[in-house]
Structure 1
Amino acid sequence: MKLQCPGNPLENYSSRREFLYVGLLGSVGMALPQFFGSRAEAAIKQFPQHAAVAESVIHIFLPGGMSHQESFDPKPFAPAEYRGPFGAIDTKIPGIQFGQFMKETAKIADKLTIIRSMSHGEAAHERGTHNMFTGYRPSPALSYPSFGSVVSHELGPRNDLPPYVCVPSVPNEFANSGYLSSAFGPFALGSDPAQGNFKVRDLNLADGVDHKRFERRRTLLQTVDDHFRTLEKSDALDSMDSFYQHAYKLISSQQAREAFDLSKEDSKTRDEYGKNEAGQRMLLARRLVEGGVRFVSLTAGGWDHHDNIKQGIEKHMPNTDRAIATLIRDLDRRGMLEKTLVMVTTEFGRTPKINPTAGRDHWPRVFSTMLAGGGMKQGYVHGASDSLGGEPDQDPVSIQDLAKTVYHQIGINAQTELMSPGARPIEIVDGGDVLDAILANKA
């Protein structure tokens, strides 16, 4: 019996027990995604695992394709039509500059690893985004799982919290569980933490259902479970029980609910991050990994600047820059940075030359990625683009390289093979190498 996540919750439920499950969770106000399932679809081939350096990952995705020239890889000596509308500023890394609107991130650059030679061949938003969320090129034959879903599958929940959370919502179809069970999909908030009335769905009982009533329904379900276990003798029932127990823990755990509660943060901290979408999303991400979430994915800003890139950068960069820098500082002063891998990505870069509408177009040949904490080198720039920002000039990095490195740091061997629906073994990452050059414990 395989747990499904259909559009109609009454479809594909094959027993009275499953029907009761739908009725119960609906009655207590729980519309949880099925990320708490068992590991029934476990890896079919396990390579030796290694000790994790990072306990959690925060993936900050900048949708639209952020220009590397206006951020981590400015070209101040290029001709004006390539240089763009802004200047460059010095950072805490000697000889390295960022775009002029990255003032706060420049101040903490000595805690960062910057990859300036990311490259892939996908110039369409959807295909580039797929790469950056799964570590795979898109395939018409198979839907690949996101990084967060693989982490959920391999490592499971911790401290009664979902292993994989999207802030504020699932940002795209590629952030889901792919060929893995929907049991390993993300938990989404349902509202934005920057909103004044922010409240996470699924963490509270429905109107008219108090805790006594909740416990009575829970006891009723346990009784039904025992009855059908006797009749069916099915191992799948134990798997379903695991889902129930984790779901109940989430809704009843004070610790779990508080991890999502931004009101627990003092006003000074909230102001430091910025009371805007980027700031409050990153603050909540810190709270979630502090509570025990293994993988948090969030988005910030909009970076598809085909027209008037100057206006676009001026609108989105200051808040994003401030929030990223504050997150790194906050994790560091709490002693969390070494155990939290922060990753800032975007689907591709922008064209070297400014176009006729004062913008830059899609450019996947070379772009930049930022990493911090989680065992990364500090104050290090890996690779380089050429003088116009058009091609990798040194040490090109593929998405497979990046994916293998992230998995390595969180203790997952990316050579592990998982079972796809067609009974075909699929490596977590196919190809690429761990980037030893960017790891702090490597020469």
Structure 2
Amino acid sequence: MRCKGNPFSRRGFLAAGTLGGIGLSLPELLMRQAMAEQKHYDFVEAKAKSVIHVYLPGGMAQQESFDPKPYSPMEYRGEMRTIKTNTGEVVSETIPQLAKRADKFSVIRSMTHGEAAHERGTHNMFTGYKPSPALKYPSFGAVVSHEYGPRKNLPPYVCIPNVPNEFAGTGYLPSSYGGFALGSDPAQSNFKVRDLNLASGVDEQRFMRRKQALATVNNQFVSTSSADSVGAMNTFYERAYSLLDTPEAKLAFDIEKEDPKLRDKYGRNQAGQRLLMARRLVEAGTRLVTLTYGGWDMHNNITSSFKSTMPSLDVALSALLDDLSERGLLDETLVMVSSEFGRTPKINATAGRDHWPKVFSVMLAGGGIKGGMIYGASDSTASEPDQDPVSPADLACTMYRCLGIVADKELMAPGDRPIEIVDGGQLIEPLMV
């Protein structure tokens, strides 16, 4: 099923002149268009309330993770052995904990695009669009922030620990929809969220006086300027004050309040504490959390690199799935694990793998996605899709539908130019609940 589905879309409207023969006037056409759009956009059931987007920068190898090739020649399959999951599938030995929980997640083994450069591949996987010199597209988090706004005084879009790349921004949307960055790593012993506490020497009364004075100044600027940066700063200040004013919101960021045993279960490391923080935030009301972990650009010694990088992620993701499930949150939280591309089918001269966008894997769990499925397949050497290829637009379309957002809804770019949230793309219906 295509994300498309509005017969009175902007493109369909170009055929308006042909409707005169069946007796539709322009006002009648416009009324029908409005009714169709209202139905099309407003009545999509949301399975997910939140998204945790785990991004693995550099390009994670599919062969050493979710799509091993045990029957291919050694120079293709690599040195890793395989293990069986609790659903009977085969995955790399690098993810033993996830293998025990394969019934809780699904894997797309046929992701594909044509961008072998890190920046362009990252753009694809954060926006659902191919890069364009003519327009900057908004990231998933910015779109969700634009469509839904804050919930329970929590920022709708949060980045852990920082905004991960230039394509995780707002694109053509106002900058007020940008991600709230923690500014430091929750794995650090002295972790504090940047700007979330009152400055030293500032009591509540002084804080309120500053807030009132700033509001007066901001109102003057907003009334005399239409600049996006002015409005954005005003919005950021308002949201920051909401956090400072709301103990429950501040508490969500205080990872020290978490049960020490649960912190240990996730792992006292970057992967563990970032994922635990993400769970705290979606539980408290954040709509989309983007976090990064590791460096997966393994051109050299891929076996040893995986053995040092993957165990923490394997443990942390497994703990997250257990934790969300036990709290009754997995069905309403979509977990997406992605990377900008995969790695070459053949091991290179330095015992690593190079960039390969033709086929790679993405993991999905919860929030409207079935568990225990493998969707699509790569060929015998993980060179290209063998069946059911999935594009970044397909993935984005499916993610948005799980959130109740219709991906072909049009947002306004500069110059009153209507741009679809995703251009094209098909729902990956076999994966959807």
State whether TM-score is above 0.5: yes
Correspondence 1:179-198 to 2 at 5 A: 179-198=172-191
Match of 1:157 among 142, 146, 150: 150
Deviating runs (4+, > 6 A) in structure 1?
224-229, 231-234, 236-242
How many Å apart are 1:423 and its aligned residue? Answer: 2.4
Correspondence 1:245-256 to 2 at 5 A: 245-256=238-249
Is 1:87–2:81 an aligned residue pair? yes
Check whether the contact 2:137–2:171 (CA below 8 A) recurs between aligned residues.
Answer: yes
How many Å apart are 1:227 and its aligned residue? Answer: 8.4
Aligned-residue Cα RMSD (Å) equals: 2.1
Following the alignment from structure 1 to structure 2, what is the Cα–Cα distance between the partners of residues 139 and 223?
Answer: 40
Q: In the alignment, which residue of structure 2 is the partner of 1:314?
A: 307
Check whether the contact 1:87–1:100 (CA below 8 A) recurs between aligned residues.
Answer: yes
Check whether the contact 1:202–1:251 (CA below 8 A) recurs between aligned residues.
Answer: no
Check whether the contact 2:176–2:232 (CA below 8 A) recurs between aligned residues.
Answer: no
Following the alignment from structure 1 to structure 2, what is the Cα–Cα distance between the partners of residues 233 and 261?
Answer: 37
Check whether the contact 2:164–2:292 (CA below 8 A) recurs between aligned residues.
Answer: yes
SS in 2 for 1:195: coil
Check whether the contact 2:196–2:240 (CA below 8 A) recurs between aligned residues.
Answer: no
Is 1:206–2:184 an aligned residue pair? no
Alignment length, in residue pairs? 393
Correspondence 1:373-392 to 2 at 5 A: 373-392=366-385
Check whether the contact 2:176–2:233 (CA below 8 A) recurs between aligned residues.
Answer: no
Q: In the alignment, which residue of structure 2 is the partner of 1:23?
A: none
Check whether the contact 2:108–2:375 (CA below 8 A) recurs between aligned residues.
Answer: yes
Change (3 A) 1:100 1:179: same
Change (3 A) 1:365 1:240: closer
| Structure ranking higher in helix proportion | 2
How many Å apart are 1:208 and its aligned residue? Answer: 2.1
TM-score (norm 1): 0.85
Change (3 A) 1:239 1:68: closer
Is 1:302–2:295 an aligned residue pair? yes
Is 1:353–2:346 an aligned residue pair? yes
Q: In the alignment, which residue of structure 1 is the partner of 2:69?
A: 75
Farther off after superposition, 64-73 or 220-229: 220-229
Is 1:215–2:208 an aligned residue pair? yes
CA deviation vs aligned residue, 1:279-319 (integer Å, no higher than 9, x gap): 00000000000000000000111111111101110110100
How many Å apart are 1:226 and its aligned residue? Answer: 8.1
Q: In the alignment, which residue of structure 2 is the partner of 1:262?
A: 255
Q: In the alignment, which residue of structure 2 is the partner of 1:178?
A: 171
How many Å apart are 1:228 and its aligned residue? Answer: 9.0
SS in 1 for 2:123: helix
Q: In the alignment, which residue of structure 2 is the partner of 1:54?
A: 48
State the percentage of identical aligned residues.
61
Amino acid at match of 2:72: A
How many Å apart are 1:263 and its aligned residue? Answer: 0.5
Check whether the contact 2:174–2:232 (CA below 8 A) recurs between aligned residues.
Answer: no
Correspondence 1:79-158 to 2 at 5 A: 79-94=73-88, 96-158=89-151
- Unmatched runs of 5 consecutive residues or more in structure 1: 1-44
SS in 2 for 1:113: strand
TM-score (norm 2): 0.87
- Unmatched runs of 5 consecutive residues or more in structure 2: 1-36
How many Å apart are 1:240 and its aligned residue? Answer: 8.5
Match of 1:64 among 58, 68, 73: 58
CA deviation vs aligned residue, 1:63-98 (integer Å, no higher than 9, x gap): 11000000000011111111101011000112x111
Match of 1:274 among 258, 264, 267: 267
CA deviation vs aligned residue, 1:10-61 (integer Å, no higher than 9, x gap): xxxxxxxxxxxxxxxxxxxxxxxxxxxxxxxxxxx77423121100000000
